[in-house]
Structure 1
Amino acid sequence: MIDLRTVPDSWRRWPVTVRDLPVALLLALASVVPALRNHGTQLGDLPGRPFDALTVLVIALECLPLAVRRRWPALCLALVSVGFALDQLRAYHTVAGSALAIALMSAGAHVQRRRRTTMVLASAAYVALAVALDRQGATEGVTGFATFYLLLILAWGVGAWLRQTRSVEAERRRHVALTARTAERTRIASELHDVVTHHVTAMVVQAEAARYLTTAPDRLDTTLTAITDTGRRAITDLRNLLDLLNPDHSTDPRTPAVGELHALVAQARQAGQPVEFTEDGSPAETTGGAEVAAYRVVQEALTNALKYAHGSRTTVHVHHGERETTVQVSTEGSGSYSGGPGGSGRGLAGLRERVGVLGGEFSAGRHADGSFVVHARIPTGNPS
């Protein structure tokens, strides 16, 4: 049984010539219906002539080129115009004469090059036809010929308007696609910064500490194990993140959750950073991205603490409310958090943007007591 819902998609997969052919055939068939004879387009008021053998050629010239009206619009217009001229000069007045308006609209919509030349040549051909009809005794007069010419111009104008509309829509879609790609690249760059900077910073700090533990084998082994674990976590996080770039990846990439903050804090402690961690409440079932943002705030703050205030006391406090999650990370010490050696300042700026997109508030700066405090208030997206 045929699924009618798939018919439009199946039809669009056919070549454009095949899709345009039915219009041409229907118009040709209508032209030979006895009841419609001498009821077609009539220019010049010449007495009607009965159909003869030449009529078949005229109808074919007017109708069949419509099958290529989108593929070769200029050729279609030329052939239809010849057929129309013969139709009017022979006074057949077939229904097929309506094909001229269709050809003009198609030319206005689909002719890509030498559009002005096409218009000039078509206008010159019409003037020649009007003169020929007038010499045969047509009573149309200048007013009638001019009125019909304006109708032809209108048909071309409709096609040109469709062309402009299609162009504007294509440009809009291109802009939307470009904006989406830019946003996705920015998001991936932010995720890469968070993952790579945090893990690599922890590994560098641990490796530096290992230099001074050559006389303490037990502590050295613990430090090297921590470096290995950090490297493995970095590989896992990068693999999950790179799934974003895989077009065949059918599921959403894994994203960190607030529940993983304990592992994040433990990693910072392994790197030699004294961290006090407290968490109030429970994460909401639906957070609207707040959970990932909270994780990234803590991750970036701990990374900066390791880079610029290694060994200084750091306090992490996460509070889960009914409608928002609050994160505050305070680090003692005199290090610079605005981006120093090895830092670009992108992390804090990226966090401010990430939290701002969710409708929250973010701040990072030094307090009067000398500590550096990162604070974020992130709405969870839950209904009130």
Structure 2
Amino acid sequence: MSTPRSVRSRWAGVSAEVRDRWLAVALTGAAFVPGLAVLGAQFGDLPRRSGDILAVLLVAGQTLPLAVRGRWPAAALAVTGICFAAHEVLAYPTTVGSLALYFALYSAGAHEERFRRVVAAVASAGYVVFAVLLVLRESPAGLRDYAVYYAVLAGCWLLGAMVRQRRHQETERRRLTAEAAVAGERARIARELHDVVTHHVTAMVVQADAARYLAPERVPEALTAITGSGRDALTELRFLLGVLEATGARTPGLAALRDLVDRPGRVVELVEEGERPELPPETELTAYRIVQEALTNAAKYAAGAPAAVRVSYGPDFLEIEVTTEGTATEPGALGSGGRGLRGLSDRVQALGGRFAAGPSTDGFRVSAMIPAGSAA
């Protein structure tokens, strides 16, 4: 047995065009049920005459256009309005089908886009003609009655216009949200490309510069290191492309820190405190990028200087500290185009953590505290 909720769910899945057709058919059928006539709309208070075939056609002309009220709202309103006016001026018996005029006005306000001002003006002019015809038929309705009924009809239109405006606002909100998501994704990709390319290219440049001053027998070792940096860059770019293509390729995380600090040409001490928990991928990637960027800056501004990386795993937070001995450099001068440490600061803050970078007593220090979060 179908429950009211299941019926509503199935009805919600029906297209608007199909629902409009059902409304038109239902209202047409109800219009010929005598007991429902008291629910109909009538205006003019003219003495009613008996119905005939023309009355049937005018009733159908009011209700059936509702089948296209969403696709052609102006046309539906025009046909419905003309048939309603003719029905009232000719003083045919009131039917519930006359309510179609209210539906048509609402639909015109809600769905008419290009010519809504023209439609409103023509509808108002049509109402004036309707009023004049009623006066010529010696309707007892007074000026106040005409004004009140016009306000009722205008209210139906305005209700639809409010729905249309709200629909446009929601569309605009979704568009802005989508644009913000695209901009955020572009910024994320830019940060990833900066972190990958800058780090490895810097390492290759430093290693190539150093190779010029090496003894001939050590040049092959330097070239091997440069080749390794190039391969690492290609590997991480493949990781990044895998993420962009949603192939599920893994991005570097905390497990790759040892490989990061042990690369040739570096004097880096890695200390890990506590047991490494399972962390969300974004947290692991951010932690890896912090260490990577700090070591890249060390290679740029303090080439060959010792560095120390300390990673502390706690129940609630992950703490990272990278210290480099040598000449201290202001944070604003680090990174390329302001994307380096500044981009990392944005990442950490987005995860709810804290980030700091600046000169220390004997060099430069980068630190971050990131919530451990949940890997689920």
CA distance in 2, matches of 1:153, 1:311: 80
Match of 1:347 among 328, 340, 359: 340
Whole-Å Cα distance in 2 between the matches of residues 99 and 5 of structure 1?
23
Pair 1:311–1:109, CA change in 2 (3 A): same
Contact 2:328 2:359 in 1 (8 A): no
Residues 283 and 291 of structure 1 are in contact (CA less than 8 Å); yes or no, is this contact kept in structure 2? Answer: no
On the 8 A contact 2:293/2:340 being kept in 1, the answer is: yes
Instruction: Look up the equivalent residue of 2:176 and give its one-letter code.
Output: H
User: Could you state the TM-score of these two structures normalised by the residue count of structure 2?
Assistant: 0.89
Amino acid of the structure 2 residue aligned with 1:95? V
- Name the counterpart of 1:378: 370
How do 1:295-314 residues align onto structure 2 when only pairs under 5 Å count? 295-314=288-307
Distance 1:341 1:363 in 2: 13
Distance, in Å, in 2 between the alignment partners of 1:28 and 1:5 is 23
Tell me which of 354, 358, 362 is aligned to 1:365. 358
Deviation string, structure 1 residues 269-321 (Cα, Å, up to 9, x no partner): x1x12112211112223458433222111110011111111111111111112
CA contact (8 A) 1:108 1:163 kept: yes
The 5 Å alignment of 1:23-42 reads 23-37=23-37, 40-42=40-42
Q: Secondary structure at the match of 2:321?
A: strand
- Which of 319, 327, 340 matches 2:320? 327
Q: What is the number of residues matched between the two proteins? A: 369
Aligned to 1:240: 239
Separation in 1 of the partners of 2:295 and 2:348?
17
Return the alpha-carbon distance in structure 2 between the equivalents of residues 113 and 343 of structure 1. Answer: 50
Deviation at 1:37, TM superposition (A): 4.7
**Partners of 1:358 and 1:379 within 8 A in 2:** yes
How far does residue 34 in structure 1 lie from its aligned partner after superposition?
Answer: 3.7
Aligned residue for 2:230?
231
| Inter-CA distance 21–189: structure 2 relative to 1 (3 Å threshold) | same
Distance of 1:49 and 1:244 partners within structure 2: 76
Task: Give the structure 2 partner of residue 76 of structure 1.
Answer: 76
The equivalent residue for 2:221 is 222
What's the offset of the Cα at 1:194?
0.9
Partner of 1:260: 256
Secondary structure of the corresponding residue to residue 310 of structure 1 = coil
Partners of 1:177 and 1:64 lie apart in 2 by 40
SS of the counterpart of 2:48?
coil
2: CA distance between counterparts of 1:208 and 1:303? 15
Alpha-carbon separation, structure 2, partners of 1:38 and 1:27? 14
Unaligned runs of 5+ in 2: none
Cα offset for 1:143? 2.2
Distance 1:8 1:88, change over 3 A: closer
SS at match of 1:377: strand
Distance apart, 1:205 and its partner CA:
2.0
8 Å Cα contact 2:331-2:358 kept in structure 1: no
Q: 1:84 offset after TM fit, Å?
A: 0.5
**Which letter does structure 2 place at the counterpart of 1:381?**
G
Aligned counterparts of 2:29 and 2:96: Cα–Cα separation in 1: 9
CA separation in 2, counterparts of 1:34 and 1:337?
88
* Corresponding residue for residue 62 of structure 2: 62
- Report the Cα offset of residue 145 of structure 1: 2.0
| Aligned sequence identity (%) | 48
Change (3 A) 1:224 1:319: same
Q: Which letter maps to 1:259? A: A
Q: Provide the C-alpha distance between the structure 2 equivalents of 1:62 and 1:6, rounded to a whole number of angstroms.
A: 30
Confirm or deny: 8 A CA contact 2:80 2:100 kept in the other structure: yes
Task: For structure 1, list consecutive stretches of 5 or more residues without a partner in the other structure.
Answer: none
3-state SS in 2 of match to 1:113: coil
> CA–CA distance in 2 between the matches of 1:381 and 1:152?
57
CA separation of 1:38 and 1:58: change in aligned 2, threshold 3 A: farther
Post-superposition shift, 1:250?
6.1
* Residues 329 and 358 in structure 2, CA contact (< 8 A), matched pair in contact too: no
Say which SS state the counterpart of residue 278 (structure 2) adopts: coil
